């Protein structure tokens, strides 16, 4: 009797166990059959290490090349501890970016949340993202409408270039420049103020942690970065507080900090986090763009010559010491081609992180709910069927083409998360280039290739021998 009851309980438990297993794994098994072809690799780590293997940023890298040739432009893999669909297809990438919050959602790995903070724009979704985004767009319009906006950029460029001797590590110079510009735009601080130096120092520590192994114990880069973030927050809070105390119409500079202070629907933490996002988003990427331009121009004397002609013509119409203005910027047409081409070849942001919110059928593919989705921009930028002689730096390809983002050119992402700082990055690069090409000749010191780790870096910082043009 007891034995019979025991068997019934056993059978019941077994049935329950099977139900749970089937509930969890059946959809995965069915999805696996319907999802695009591909392999998962090792348990847990999957193919992450192979995916992250460093390669020159103007190439696909061996992982993508291999999967591309075996499975086509869309394939499945297991990356960042999650089943993943990797898309190297311009149409699918466009579809993913345009359907943000409907079918897909921004989803960066957890360690990034730990370091950027829970209110970071890169991390938040839904309404919180909408509120921060509208603030970012306000930053852009406020900055652009400020009379001294372009003059500030040019003054900082001249200050940096004025300190050049025979040899410079270009990435460091560009970083000083872009950091000074964004700190001026967002916090109203000049390069020589002590707080600027302090924030920059903390930011460099912060950046190292962002790309380090996420182990939060004392002494690791990750832990140091978390501390650096806390110090930056402290400094930023003090600056905001000082501005609040000195507030009032007479002191109202009408700059971004004043706008930030007047906003009521954001918490103090969100405001500080927003300032950090702007600083972070605004300087390293732009520094890389400038470095890419200098790197690729070094390989294309014809493009450099044409660029010099363009800037000489603009400079010829200016009085001594007269600043560049928005009309001059509009005349920098070939400069825009060079910038676009450096963005296409250099691939500063190789891919972005998304996840599927529900099962998504797209053409022949099923993207299962909950899976990670990675639209890979570099693969589209280097696709020879979309860009003739794709591996060649050829700025003239942009002649007569739409300059803004299109499906086959997405260096700034797309959809509701399109980079709000793209125009600032381009103006900074163009104005710096103006004074660089008019005042200096340069030669790379040895070979330094931009590498995708997958964050992009010049391993030696792009050292240059420079010589003033007298």
Binding-site residue ranges for heme: 419
In the block, residue with structure tokens 């980079």: 419
Query: Binding marks (x or -) toward ligand HEM, 52..91, rule CB under 6 A?
Result: ----------------------------------------
Among 156, 257, 367, 425, binds ligand HEM (CB under 6 A): 425
Question: Which part of the chain contacts ligand HEM (CB under 6 A), choosing from 1-9, 276-284, 308-316, 382-390?
Answer: 276-284
Among 281, 368, 395, 450, binds ligand HEM (CB under 6 A): 281
CB 288, min distance to ligand HEM, A: 7
Considering the rule CB under 6 A, would residue 368 count as an interface residue with ligand HEM? no
Q: Judged by CB, which is closer to ligand HEM: 366, or 424?
A: 424
> Contacts with ligand HEM in 328-367 (CB under 6 A)?
348-349, 352
Considering the rule CB under 6 A, would residue 152 count as an interface residue with ligand HEM? no
Among 51, 412, 431, 458, binds ligand HEM (CB under 6 A): 412
Q: Judged by CB, which is closer to ligand HEM: 69, or 404?
A: 404
407 with 91: CB under 8 angstroms?
Answer: yes
Number of other residues whose CB lies within 10 A of the CB of residue 357: 17
Please compute, for residue 118, the number of CA atoms within 13 A of its CA located in the half-sphere on the CB side.
Answer: 2
Nearest to 171 by CA among 60, 32, 284: 284
Identify the DSSP state of 87: E
Q: What angle do CA 205, 208, 210 make, to 5 degrees?
A: 110
Number of other residues whose CB lies within 10 A of the CB of residue 22: 11
CB 411, min distance to ligand HEM, A: 5
Q: Which residue is nearest to ligand HEM (CB)?
A: 421
Among 419, 427, 436, 452, binds ligand HEM (CB under 6 A): 419
**What does the alpha-carbon distance between residue 452 and residue 60 come to, in Å, rounded to a whole number?**
10
**What does the alpha-carbon distance between residue 196 and residue 160 come to, in Å, rounded to a whole number?**
15
Question: Which part of the chain contacts ligand HEM (CB under 6 A), choosing from 47-55, 360-368, 405-413, 448-456?
Answer: 405-413
Considering the rule CB under 6 A, would residue 121 count as an interface residue with ligand HEM? yes
Q: Which residues neighbour 83 within 8 Å (Cβ) at sequence distance 6 or greater? A: 28, 35, 40, 76, 77, 368, 371, 372
Question: Which part of the chain contacts ligand HEM (CB under 6 A), choosing from 65-73, 156-164, 210-218, 417-425?
Answer: 417-425
**What does the alpha-carbon distance between residue 77 and residue 45 come to, in Å, rounded to a whole number?**
11
Left, alpha or beta for 248 (phi > 0: left; psi -120 to 50: alpha)? left
Among 131, 133, 407, 441, binds ligand HEM (CB under 6 A): 133
């Amino acid at each position: 009797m007891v034995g019979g009851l025991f068997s019934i309980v056993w059978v019941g438990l077994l049935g329950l166990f099977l139900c749970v297993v089937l509930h969890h794994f059946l959809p995965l098994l069915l999805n696996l059959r319907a999802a695009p072809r591909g392999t998962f690799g090792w348990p847990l780590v999957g193919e992450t290490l192979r995916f992250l293997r460093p390669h020159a940023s103007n190439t696909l890298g061996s992982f993508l090349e291999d999967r591309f040739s075996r499975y086509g432009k869309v394939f499945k893999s297991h990356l960042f501890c999650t089943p993943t669909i990797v898309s190297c297809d311009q149409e699918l990438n466009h579809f993913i970016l345009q359907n943000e919050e409907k079918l897909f959602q921004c989803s960066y790995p957890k360690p990034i949340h730990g370091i950027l903070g829970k209110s970071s724009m890169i991390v938040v979704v839904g309404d919180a993202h909408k509120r921060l985004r509208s603030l970012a767009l306000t930053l852009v319009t406020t900055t652009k409408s400020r009379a001294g906006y372009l003059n500030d950029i040019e003054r900082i460029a001249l200050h940096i270039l004025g300190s050049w001797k025979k040899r410079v590590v270009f990435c460091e110079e560009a970083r000083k420049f872009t950091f000074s510009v964004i700190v001026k735009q967002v916090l109203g601080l000049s390069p020589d103020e002590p707080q600027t130096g302090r924030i920059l120092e903390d930011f460099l520590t912060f950046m190292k942690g962002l790309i380090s192994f996420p182990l939060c114990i004392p002494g690791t880069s990750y832990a140091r970065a978390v501390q650096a973030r806390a110090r930056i927050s402290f400094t930023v809070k003090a600056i905001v507080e000082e501005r609040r105390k000195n507030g009032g119409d007479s002191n109202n500079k009408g700059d971004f900090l004043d706008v930030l202070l007047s906003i009521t629907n954001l918490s103090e933490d969100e405001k500080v986090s927003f300032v950090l996002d702007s600083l972070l988003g605004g300087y390293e990427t732009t520094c890389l763009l400038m470095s890419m331009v200098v790197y690729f121009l070094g390989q294309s004397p014809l493009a450099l010559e044409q660029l010099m002609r363009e800037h000489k013509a603009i400079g010829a119409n200016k009085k001594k010491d007269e600043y560049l203005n928005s009309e001059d910027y509009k005349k920098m047409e070939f400069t825009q081609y060079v910038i676009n081409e450096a963005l296409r070849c250099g691939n500063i942001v190789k891919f972005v992180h998304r996840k599927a919110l529900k099962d998504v059928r797209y053409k022949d593919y099923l993207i299962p709910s909950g899976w990670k989705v990675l639209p890979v921009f570099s693969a589209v930028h280097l696709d020879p069927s979309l860009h003739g002689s794709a591996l060649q730096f050829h700025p003239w390809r942009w002649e007569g083409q739409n300059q803004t983002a299109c499906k086959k050119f997405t260096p700034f992402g797309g959809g509701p998360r399109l980079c709000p700082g793209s125009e600032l990055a381009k103006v900074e690069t163009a104005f710096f280039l103006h004074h660089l090409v008019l005042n200096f000749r340069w030669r790379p010191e040895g070979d330094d290739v931009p590498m995708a780790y997958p964050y992009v870096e010049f391993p030696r910082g792009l050292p240059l021998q420079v010589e003033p043009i007298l």
